[in-house]
Structures are given as C-alpha cells and as structure tokens.
A and B are shown apart, each in its own frame.
Chain A
C-alpha cells in the first residue's frame, strides 16, 4: 500500500517535472505579449486587458476561441501520431485544405443520402488527407526519401491545386466570395453556444483525442507504432513490420488533418473558401510540440494557441494593435517549442 502511494507520488512528480518546460514556454510567450503591447500600443493597459480577458469576456468570444481550437486539436493529434512513430508530417496545410474541399464536394454530391452522405463525405475528406500523408510514408518505405521533405512539397503543390479548384471549376457562381457551394443545411453541425460559432464539432474533437489515446496505448498496433518510433531496429528485431509503420502513421496523421478540415466545414464555414485553413497545419504542429506528442495534452495546447489568436483579435478590435501581434507571439511559441533546452527544463538528466 505504502509502495503504491510512493509510486503514485513519484509518477505525479515526473508528470509535473515534464510540464515545467511547456509551461515555461507558455510563460515566455505571454511575457512576449506584454512586451509587444508596451512597444506597439499607445494604450498598453487596455490592449493587455483585452488580450488576456477578451477571449473569456462573454459567450461569443469564449465560444469562438474554443471553436478555433478544434482544427488545431485534429492537427495536433495528427502530428502526435506521426511523431510517435518517428515520422515527420509537414504536410498539414495541404492535407487539411484538400480534406476540406473533398468533404465539401462529396457532401454536396451526396446530399440525397442524408446522414449517411454526411458521414461518407467526412470519411472521403479524411481519406484525401490520409492519401497525401500516406504517399510520403510510401515514398519513404519504397525509396527511402525523407517524408519531412516530401510531405512538405506535396502539401505546397496541393494547396495551389485546391486554390485553383475553388477559384475555378468548383466556385459557386452565385456568391461574391471565392468559395464552393455550401454543404446541405442538414449536414451542418449544431451550434452549441450561440451566437458563437462553437458547434458539436467540439465533442468530435474530444472523441478523436480519446480514440487516438486509446489506439496508441491500448492496442497492439499502437504499441508497435510507438516501439517503431522509439527504436526501429529494436522493433524490427522484435518482429514488428517496421516498413508498415512508415506508411500507416503518416496515413493516419493525414487522415486526422483531412478530418479536421471536413469538420471545420461542417461546423463553421459550410463552404470551402479559398485559404480558409491557412496556418492551421503549422499551428497543429506547434500544438503537438507543446503537448509533447501526448494526445490528452493536445487539448490544452490547442486551446492555448486559440487563446492567443482570440486575444490578439480582441485586442485589435478594442485597441490600436494589429492582428500581427498574434502571428509574432505564435512564431515565438513555435520557436521556443523547438528548443530542446526549454523542453527539458525540470527533467532529470539521464546516462550519467
């Protein structure tokens, strides 16, 4: 009994220690907000008040902030899955965008099928993202190409292609926006916090976190994926088909991005607008880095990122700063999370 308590206390200490790095990054980023406000705003007090308190001042802003976190959760999960397997997926931008377009087009085409059509369209969106991610994994398996480079390059090309498709053959001629036609009303997810954009997509995101957590830690395939990521030689000697774990995690990673894109359409935008997902892929990567690739930690990390964006928008609405303050802080976070030194603060050194 005493031994059990000791073990629990020890594991709590380990968890707290491993959180110090990410918390330090968050703290530095927030200090960055303060410094930028002092430098850029004529009314820094007002700017800071709206930056920090704005996102939670009423249901509208709070709901929108949570809504902004939803695609980041899917992106963060996608990256976490890939990174756990030792793969790098830098193609999130193209995967989320193409997934959204395919889901939108399928939803429009499958309108007569009702709820089945909605589900099939979402699966099609996820499949599109999965195909793009899997392609990079396949190239690595077949020709030993770097999936980091190929996923990035494929994504860049796909973004341009999707732009062309939205502004060209699939553009809705009845609207003045560069967007496809809207998905059927019956397919749109219910709003849960009017007048904000927050929809039941939040529950889908939480479900996705639980499923990924379960997959990684409760299934044989998840175990093999993690072992392949930790030490592929060990995994191979242990009888794990490591080649498969070059393709599958990339495919799942892309599928999560694609699903995130489709859900963003179903819950928020209703039509695939040009550039609607710009930045979501990269922010998903930063979210996964802050969460240290732990699915459960992706939710607070995504909310933190969404909070920064919502705070900057709020400060811009009510004071004299521009939205670029959010981009600067997000860049700062991105920069800091790649710092091995900061990430390891609080953790015991091994091997001495």
Chain B
C-alpha cells in the first residue's frame, strides 16, 4: 500500500513538473492570418466518400483555391461520431491556421457557436444550416421545404398513377437516418404537402433508422413500409440509403431522391432527383470572403428561384416516367422556379 501511495504521489509531482512549462506555452495559440490571403478549413461532419453534398463542398473550396492565388484549403473529415465533432473542430481552430471554417450540416452552427466562444476571432461559414445573430457565423439554408414540396408532388403523381409498381393505397414513405429540426419541420412536412397537392388523401409513412450508415436496418424498414402499402419512397439517410435501393430493386418500388443524382442507384426505379448547387454556392461565398463582403451574423435562405435548388430532368427521368406525369411535373417545377407556388415556410 505504502509503495503504491508513494508511487501515486511521485507520479502527481512528475505530472505537475511536466505541466508547468506546458501551461505557459498555451497562450501562443491564435496567430492572426496573413492579410490578402485566405486559409480555408473545410470541415466535413462525416466523410466525403459517398456523400455528394460533401464532395461538392470540398471540390468547390479546392477549385476556388486552385483558381485564386494565396488561397489554401485543408479538407478535414471528422467521421460519424457526433460526440467528437466539437472537440475535433476546437482542435483545428486552436491551431490558429484557418481564416474561415467552411462546413455544411444543420448541426454545425451550435457546435461552431460553442467553439467560437473560445476563439472569438474565428469565422465560420455554414451551408445547409441556419443561425442568425452570431457575429462569427454566416449561414446559408437551402430551402429544403421547397425541394421536398416538389419531390412530394412528384411522389404524389406516381403513387396515384398506373405505373407498374404503384398500388391503390395512397401512401408514400420517408426514411430518415435521424430526426432533426430541419427534417421534422421542413422536409417531411414539405414532402407531404407536395403530395397532398396531387391528392389530399395521401399520407406519409415516416420511419427513422437511428444512424447514417446501417443499410440493413434501412432495408428492413423499407421492406416493412412496402408491405404496409408504400410504393414511393424518399430518403435522407446517407450511406444507409443503399438498403432502400436494394429493397426497391428486389420488391419493386419507386424512389425520389433529394439533393443528388441517384438515378443509377436503382435504374428505372429512381423516378426523380432534386439537385443542390452546393459547389456554385461555395465558390460564390468564398469570392465574397475574399472581397470582404460577407455579413457574419446573418442567414440567407436559397431555393429554386435563386438557382441553388433544382431538379435533374435527364434521360433517366424521361425514360422512367410516362409523358402525362412528366408534363404535370414539369409545369409544377416551372411554377416553383417562377415563385408561383404558394406555401408558408415553417420556422425552424
């Protein structure tokens, strides 16, 4: 016992000796960045591979750096453990090497606000998120209610059609990786509202996987929903969406997809894909940063009218859907782009 206690006390003394010079060095963390240059940290809350929005984010910043002198970019993948995101971001910001942190995730503003309290000179630009009033943070929110509205409208047209896998139940489905305010308040309600514009009797079967990677669970949910009468699915599930594609191919169901071109994930069954002009937005915002025009503390919502959300009406779309559905949907999309479709954007 005595030996151990002696060892413990000795260890604490050694720890204290090591700690004192280390603590003294702590104040050198925040070196200001050189003027007329821009050092960008692209902070990926997940991984780039398999995520088109993150790929566009990273590519947008990298291309901007290639096109502009004195701009450097580091792309950092923080992985899927949300509990580690804030600490990793703090570690990166603590280096003092980055003029701005660029990210794209609805959860980032609250994490950046926490990190910003420790490093008041750090600036953050976040897309696909919304926060107003924090002088360190500038956000751009894609109008996902609007995108869900027109994808829901398309799902409504398909579920009420005579297409091969469409049934008589007025039921569409939405599989999400997790629940979060943007999903609950914009995406799912927008999807249902769009479908109800086709037929007010349509209902949505909403299920949650619990993570962004479990394709097996997504497949189980999709299978169960299909058995319950769902014939058109939407999904915000990251890599787990592979489970939905598998079930759609095996059992026959249609899919509308947000943000990215996934027509080839289930050929003939993915009947519509929304688009999100992440790269375009990133490059424009970075140009504003270089020009010193970014208004931190403000938030902007961008949608189809502004050209940041759209619909991929390519060959697959033409082949997968009959003419009458396409005609109705194209007219609806034109109205959306022209701002002629009336809806109330719910508060987040």
Binding site for B on A (CB under 8 A): 11, 15, 56-62, 64, 163-164, 167-168, 171, 173-179, 193-195, 197, 206, 209-210, 213, 217-218, 269, 273-276, 278, 294-297, 299-300, 313-314, 317-318, 323
Decide if B22 touches A176 in the complex (CB within 8 Å). no
Chain A: CB-nearest residue to B83: A276
Q: List 27 A-B contacts (CB under 8 A).
A: A56-B22, A58-B22, A58-B25, A58-B26, A59-B26, A61-B94, A164-B210, A171-B178, A173-B184, A175-B107, A175-B180, A176-B105, A176-B107, A177-B82, A178-B178, A179-B82, A194-B118, A195-B118, A210-B8, A213-B5, A218-B1, A274-B210, A276-B83, A294-B4, A296-B5, A313-B91, A317-B92
Checking A59, A171, A297 against B22 with a beta-carbon cut-off of 8 angstroms, the contacting residue is: A59
> Cβ of B63 < 8 Å from any Cβ of A?
no
Question: Cβ of A210: which chain B residues have Cβ within 8 Å of it?
Answer: 8
Checking B8, B18, B25, B88 against A57 with a beta-carbon cut-off of 8 angstroms, the contacting residue is: B25
Looking at B82, B90, B106, B182, the one whose CB has the most chain A CB atoms below 10 A away is: B82
User: Number of A-B pairs whose CB atoms are under 8 Å?
Assistant: 119
Residues of A within 8 A of B19 (CB): 62
Kindly state whether residue B266 has any CB partner on chain A within 8 Å.
no
> Cβ of B81 < 8 Å from any Cβ of A?
yes
Q: Which residue of B lies closest to A268 (CB)?
A: B87
B180 to A176, Cβ gap below 8 A?
Answer: yes
Main secondary structure of the interface of B (DSSP, over half): helix
Instruction: Give the nearest-CB partner of B185 in chain A.
Output: A173
Give B111 Cβ to nearest chain A Cβ, in Å: 8
What residues of B have a CB within 8 angstroms of the CB of A11 in the complex?
3
Task: Report chain A residues within 8 Å CB of B3.
Answer: 11, 15
A213 vs B7: C-alpha distance in the bound complex, in angstroms?
12
**Are B90 and A175 neighbours in the complex by a CB distance under 8 Å?**
no
Which partner residue on chain A sits nearest B106 by CB separation? A176
B162 within 8 A of A: no
CA gap between A177 and B88 in the complex, in Å: 15
Give Cα A273 to B110, complex, Å: 14
Q: Is the CB of A269 within 8 A of B83?
A: yes
Q: Which B residues are CB-close (under 8 A) to A323?
A: 79
* Contact (Cβ within 8 A) A178 B184: no
CA of A167 to CA of B129 in the docked complex: distance in angstroms? 21
